[in-house]
Amino acid sequence: MVFPNPTTDKVSIQPLWIETGPLTMHLVDSKGRLIIEKTVTVHGRELVVDLGILGLSPGTYIITLGDRKILMQFKIVKE
List of domains in the chain: 2-78 (2.60.40.3080)
> Do strands 10-13 and 47-50 pair parallel, antiparallel, or not at all (unpaired)?
antiparallel
| Confidence band for 15, pLDDT divided at 50, 70 and 90 | low
Q: Is the dihedral of CA 22, 27, 32, 35 positive or negative?
A: negative
How far is residue 63's CA from residue 14's CA, in Å, rounded to a whole number?
13
For residue 18, the model assigns a pLDDT of: 62
Output the pTM of the full model: 0.83
Instruction: Determine the average pLDDT of the residues in 3-19.
Output: 79
Q: Residue 44 pLDDT more than 80? A: no
